[in-house]
Amino acid sequence: MTSTFKRVSVAHIFFTRQDQVLLLKRQNTGHNDNQYGLPAGKIDRGEIALQAAVREAFEECGAVVDPDDLCLIAVMQIGAPHPEADERIDFFFRTTRWNGEITNREPDKCQELSWFPLHSLPDTTIPFIKQAWKNAQQGRWYDTFNYEGE
């Protein structure tokens, strides 16, 4: 019996200020734990990517973001790391504007929130996050990650 093909989508936000970007160090998720990622989450049924990004920004770090202040900077198709995993299409947004103080609202899933230089992301940043940021800086809005032959 074969399983049904499934593709999920995730919305990510690069919060930037001056020459820094906000990263979250993941823990207890079973997915890229002990690595730095972005405020992000799956797009729910009936939800558009912008709505998911706004929702996740508040849920994970308390930031209230106006959808008009989000700029889509990259889209990435991500292959499944193993046969039981889902393939993904991820949307990467950037914002320099938000309301509220950024705080760790999910300490069970996030060890820390930290600001890092935009042009020097930590070595322990999730690889596809680094690739999406590099692509955006080069004006390359679409890419793939973790597909055979790459």
Q: Residue 79: which CATH number?
A: 3.90.79.10
Q: Is residue 2 part of a domain?
A: no
| Residue 1 within any structural domain of the chain | no
DSSP conformation class of 96: S
Element of type H or E holding 130:
helix 127-137
53-112 pLDDT, tens digit each: 999 999 999 999 999 999 999 999 998 777 777 889 999 999 999 999 999 999 899 899
Residue 84 lies in a domain: yes
* Residue 61: per-residue pLDDT: 95
Range of the domain at 74: 7-145
Q: What is the pTM assigned to this prediction?
A: 0.92
Contacts of 76 (CB under 8 A, 6+ apart): 89, 90, 92, 128, 131, 132, 135, 142, 143, 144, 145
Judge whether 21 lies within some domain. yes
Could you tell me if residue 150 is inside a domain? no
Tokens of 53: 């990004």
18-135-91 Cα angle (round to 5): 85
Name which of 124, 93, 150 is nearest 27 in CA terms: 124
What total number of domains does the chain contain? 1
